[in-house]
Amino acid sequence: MIIRNSIRQLWRMKGKTFLFILLLLLASGLCSMGVGFWKINSRNMEKYEDSFMTIGTVEQKASTMQEIRQWDAETKSYHIYSKNVYDTYVPESVLDFEGADYLSSPEKRVTYIAYNPDYKTYDGLNQLFVVEVSPREDVVPDHPVLLEIKKVWHGTGLYEGMYFTFCSHYDPEPEMMYQDKTYIMCVDSILGHESEVEFRPVMVTESDQYAADGTIIENSIAGHYYDEVTEDFYESERGRRWLNFLECLDYRNNIFPVTGTDNIHLMMGFYRGDNYISFGREFTEEEYESGAKVCLVSEPFAYKNGFEVGDSVRLPLLCADHKYSGGASFGSAGFRSCSFLNAQGEIYEPFEDSEYEIVGIYGGVASSMLDEYSMGYNEVVIPAKSVKNSDADNIIAYGPMFGSTTSFEIENGTIDEYMEKWSRQGIDNVEITFYDKGYTKLQSGMENMKSISRILAAMGAAMVLMVLGYFTWLFILRQGERTAVERCLGFRKWQSFLSMFTGIFLIILVGSALGCTAGSVLSARIAGSMENISYYDTTFGNSAAVEMEEDIELEEETFYPVEAAAGTMAAVLVTGSVMAGIGIGCNLRKEPMELLGKAR
Amino acid sequence: METLRAEKVSYSYQTKYQKVDAVREVSCIFEHKKMYAIIGESGSGKSTFLSLLAGLDVPDAGTIYVQGQSLKEMDRDAYRLNQASVVYQSFHLFPLLNALENVMLPLEFKGMKKKDAKRAAQELLHKVGLTEKIYRQFPKMMSGGEQQRVAIARAVAAGGEVILADEPTGNLDSENEEKIVELLKNLAHEDGYTVIVITHNPSVAEAADHVFRMKDGAMEAVR
């Protein structure tokens, strides 16, 4: 009866009641919209956190440029090109500075070269020939000259007694060749300027071996493009070098790059999504940490060798490249030339030889050209810590930190903070370039949306308070007479409270429910329409920006922030109830006669 | 038969500036089937005494007995619900309820079914001289006399034996005043109520069976 009567009396004030409901609807709607935006925003941020990743690549700037002159016998002139020179190599430890919070610590990846004659890697590479030759007459081969083949050590298509055209193309002062002497040389064939096949020497007996500190180890003997074959030549150190070279010449057909990493997404191919796991899985955190003997192989490599997920591969690591990435050295058409002989002219022995389990096979574009930021042809990826032995005696190249080999991961949205701390280190010969797939741009939009949502929520909350305050005054404080008469009629305090409260509560319930529902729907619709945008990857950093046209698909069904709406509604209800309760309490604390305005 | 008895009832309150002894050792007896008038100047303590009789306030000293039982020991809400009703000068009807609903409210509140309450309310309204035309009207649509009659009907509907009326004719013209006084008299004499009226109006006092005067919180019998 009390409740019915309470509602009836409100119903008799249709105008005021509807006005109250309408105002409360607007106010709570505004509030709910703000909270809804905030909730959607927070949810999107969480969602994007999984979709986005911020990595920094590190590159040491060259100290100077050095002019390199290469003789071209054809034009009788030097080709001049420049080469970066580094006074010292900046260690990656400079990145471990105070306040640098990495999700994945900086790593300078090493590309190991594995050799396994059981695995197919390259087919039909350009052939090198190793032959013993004699000139028809005494000659300096600074121009195309005819040489007679005395012996074929390696290569098909050349025979004893055959003549071929030879030019010591790159040597400005080649040594005299005598017609009564025999020379050993390694050559490859190219088309000369008159479209004739010409053979040019390849320097193969000189090694580029580096110590662990990056200094080059001097060869025990200087390399020659060709050596005279004397009677005991192959017992001499120079002769043994040729024999060793011949022994490992066929390694070229069975080598493949192996890269160790602490996070495959630090490798640009995977980061950009050019490469992806097509079968199996990525490494687990535990596998990275423990250095488990697990690996990822490329689809072509798996296909050629019949590998499947779960199979084992043997990875004898022959040498280590501390300079170039797999992509910079291994393309589908060939690989960067390197010597498998050490400074003493001996063939490198594998410094580590282990079985690895294939846990995943990755697909993606393998560039035929050498591209330092792509995965190398046949590249195998392993956890960095899985290589237990030192490669110090097997280093074939050593260089500074390059963007393609050195990277780290930081939390999304912290580029500016990181760069501020980095700039305080005062290291100006190291350049850091960030890639965040457009997160910063998106974050800026999100921050704006967050500000808008805060303003909306605050305005809504203020409006709710004003509306509730006004109506508490109008419906309750000004209705003291009603409370007094009810009390005079024998209503107990709680009954009087209930009589007044029920109607008010109902109005607040209706107003806030409608408002919060409307606010929630509106916020979802507006946010949904704003979300239908493709976010493009952008490079951020202290170098020129590079657009990496990669779409990140974020569209999905409209998300209605029901919890936010319910929370807002509950807050409005509680606030309204408290205010109403206080108002009614004020009336009930007064004696009925006082409320009736009677002078005592 | 004694309905209400006040024994040395005193009540004081504190204003912003001073302590006011509104009621000072008032003793009197009110019997049923009688109409009493309490007269006095403004500020003499009449309304305060009435609120004490209605159980809306508690005396600082002394006791009010209701049919021999101390009001202090009674549930005052229940007392107002079942034994005493108050009629005001300003009527104090529920503005959002019509005449019928105003009278039905205490009946329903006491547990009467809606249908029975409606019938009883109609009878009461008829008894106080209101026609059916008025039943559905809201207080602001009624004249002062009609409103006061609805207020009296509501007081009667609340039941009990005591009707306390605070200046019931204060806002009425002489014609309506007479009707209300007659109504109150009938309630006392015919229906057995104890009617206590606070008034400035000599003609209302004249209609009462007994008259008390209050001055500076003290009460004396006039007749």
Cα–Cα distances in angstroms (integers) from residue A382 to residues A260, A427, A464, in the given order: 5, 32, 59
pLDDT on residue A365: 64
Which region among A192-196, A326-330, A373-377 has the lowest average model confidence (pLDDT)?
A192-196
User: pLDDT-derived band of residue A413, with 50, 70 and 90 as boundaries?
Assistant: confident
Give residue A516's domain range: 2-52+439-595
d(CA A523, CA A30): 10
Smallest CA–CA distance, residue B49 to chain A, in Å, is 9
Residues in B touching A475 (Cβ below 8 Å): none
Confidence at A531, pLDDT banded by 50, 70, 90: low
pLDDT of A553 reads: 47
CB contact under 8 A, B80 and A8: no
| Residues of B with Cβ-Cβ distance to A5 under 8 angstroms | 97, 105, 108
Closest residue by Cα to residue A345 from A233, A199, A241, A471 = A241
Residue B175 confidence (pLDDT): 76
Cβ-Cβ contacts under 8 Å between A and B: the total is 78
Give the separation between CA A347 and CA A318, rounded to whole angstroms: 9
To the nearest whole percent, how much of chain A has pLDDT over 70?
92
- The Cα–Cα gap between A130 and A152 comes to 6
Instruction: Tell me the nearest-neighbour CA distance from B29 into chain A, angstroms.
Output: 22
CA dist A475 and A16 (Å) reads: 9
Same domain, A451 and A418: no
Chain B residues with CB inside 8 Å of A487's CB? 56, 77, 80
- Ranked by mean pLDDT, the top range of A105-114, A330-339, A513-522 is A105-114
Q: For residue A472, what pLDDT is reported?
A: 83
Inter-axis angle of helices B99-109 and A2-11, nearest 10 = 160
Judge whether A87 and A430 are in contact, CB under 8 Å.
Answer: no
Crossing angle of the two packed helices A493-531 and A14-51, in degrees rounded to 10: 40
Q: What is the pLDDT of residue A532?
A: 54
Residue A579 maps to a domain:
yes
pLDDT of A538 > 60? The answer is no
Could you tell me which chain B residue has the CA closest to the CA of A2? B109
Of B43, B80, B109, Cβ closest to residue A599? B43
**Token pair of A296, please?**
């990822």
pLDDT tens, chain B, 223 aa long: 788 999 999 999 887 788 888 899 999 999 989 999 999 888 888 888 988 998 888 899 999 999 889 998 888 888 888 888 888 877 888 888 899 999 998 888 878 888 999 998 998 898 888 888 888 999 888 888 888 889 888 888 877 789 898 888 777 777 778 888 888 888 889 888 899 999 888 888 888 999 999 998 998 888 7
Is A62 a member of any domain?
no
Q: What pLDDT does residue B132 have?
A: 87
pLDDT of A523 reads: 84
Q: Give the β-pairing of A209-210 and A197-201.
A: unpaired
CA distance A582 to A102: 53
Torsion sign over Cα B76, B81, B83, B88: positive
A225 and A322 inside one domain: no
- Full-model pTM: 0.63
Phi-psi region of A391 (alpha: psi -120 to 50; beta: other; left: phi over 0): alpha
**A404, A57 Cβ separation under 8 angstroms:** yes
- The answer to whether the CB of A205 falls within 8 A of the CB of A242 is yes
d(CA A177, CA A132): 12
Q: Which pLDDT score, from 0 to 100, does residue A63 have?
A: 92
Q: CA–CA separation, A22 vs B22, rounded Å?
A: 48
Residues A424 and A532 grouped into a single domain: no
The DSSP-derived string for A241-266 is HHHHHHHHGGGGGGEEEEEEES-GGG
Mean pLDDT of A250-265: 92
**A406 & A303 share domain:** yes
Between B173 and A218, the more confident residue is A218
Nearest CA in chain B to A14: B96
Average pLDDT over residues A323-351: 89
Cα–Cα distance for residue pair A282/A358, rounded to 1 Å: 10
Q: Is the pLDDT of residue A543 over 50?
A: no
Max alpha carbon distance in chain B (Å)? 52
Same domain, yes or no: A198 and A260: no
Q: For residue A591, is it within any domain? A: yes
* Residue A599 C-alpha, separation from nearest chain B C-alpha, in angstroms: 7
B35 touches B189 (CB < 8 A): yes
Over pLDDT 90: what percentage of chain A? 48
Tokens matching residue A289: 């940490």
For residue A58, tell me if it sits in a domain.
Answer: no
- Ranges of beta strands (E only) in A388-485 are 395-398, 406-410, 430-435
Helices marked H in chain B: 46-53, 76-82, 99-109, 114-127, 132-135, 144-157, 174-189, 202-207
Contact flag A598-B47 (C-beta cutoff 8 Å): yes
Residues A45 and A140 in one domain: no
More confident residue, A463 or A596: A463
Q: Are residues A11 and A142 in the same domain?
A: no
Residue A359, in any domain of the structure: yes
The pLDDT value given to residue A357: 97
* Chain B: closest CA distance from residue A561 (Å): 40
**A547 and A462, same domain (yes or no):** yes
Yes or no: say if B65 and B4 are a contact pair by the CB < 8 Å rule: yes
Cα–Cα distance, A29 to A14 (Å, whole number): 21
Given an 8 Å threshold on Cβ–Cβ distance, is A600 in contact with B48? yes
Same-domain status, A332 and A372: yes
pLDDT tier at A481, thresholds 50, 70, 90: confident
Cβ–Cβ below 8 Å for A9 and B97 = yes
Task: Give Cβ neighbours of residue B182 (< 8 Å, ≥ 6 apart).
Answer: B207
> Is pLDDT above 90 for A245?
yes
User: Which residues in chain B touch residue A2, judged by CB atoms under 8 angstroms apart?
Assistant: 109
Contact in structure between A163 and A148 (CB atoms under 8 Å)? yes
Question: What pLDDT is recorded for position A171?
Answer: 87
Domain end position, chosen among A375, A406, A432 = A432
Domain end among A384, A414, A432: A432
Alpha helices (H) in A326-395, listed in sequence order: 326-329
Please check whether residues A305 and A374 belong to one and the same domain.
yes
End-to-end CA distance of chain B: 18
Last residue of a domain, one of A250, A270, A289: A250
Does residue A57 lie in a domain region?
A: no
Within a domain: A584: yes
Mutate to test the interface with B, among A1, A475, A482 (most CBs of B within 10 A): A1
How does pLDDT run across A390-405, given as a tens digit for each residue?
Answer: 999 999 999 999 999 9
| Chain A nearest CA to B97, separation (Å) | 7
Confidence (pLDDT) at A311: 96
Q: How far is CA B189 from the centre of its chain?
A: 16
| Residue A234 and residue A282 in one domain | no
pLDDT at A545: 33
Q: Which residue has the tokens 């970066």?
A: A84
Q: Is residue A326 part of a domain?
A: yes
At B82 the pLDDT is 83
Q: And the tokens for B175? A: 């014609």
The confidence score (pLDDT) of residue A534 equals: 38
The pLDDT of residue A103 is 94
Lookup: tokens for B58: 């508690």
Q: How far apart are CA A572 and CA A589, in angstroms?
A: 25
| Residue carrying the six token digits 């309760």 | A581
Contact between residue B48 and residue B21 where contact means Cβ atoms under 8 Å apart = no
Neighbouring residues of A591: CB distance < 8 A, sequence distance ≥ 6: B51, B56, B57
Residue A75 to residue A90: CA distance in whole angstroms: 40
Question: Which pLDDT band, with edges at 50, 70 and 90, does A194 fall under?
Answer: low
Residue type, B119: R
> Can you give the pLDDT at residue A366?
63
Q: Which residues does chain A have within 8 Å of residue B163's beta carbon, measured at their own beta carbons?
A: none
Q: What is the pLDDT of residue A547?
A: 37
Of A410, A418, A414, give the one whose Cα is nearest residue A266.
Answer: A410
pLDDT at B168: 82
Residue B213 has φ and ψ, to the nearest 5°, of: -120, 140
Q: How many domains does chain A have?
A: 3
ipTM above 0.85, yes or no: no
For residue A106, what pLDDT is reported? 95
Of residues A125 and A297, more confidently modeled = A297
What are the two backbone dihedrals, phi and then psi, of residue A108, each rounded to the nearest 5 degrees? -105, 105
Q: What is the mean pLDDT of chain A?
A: 86
A156 and A103 belong to one structural domain: no
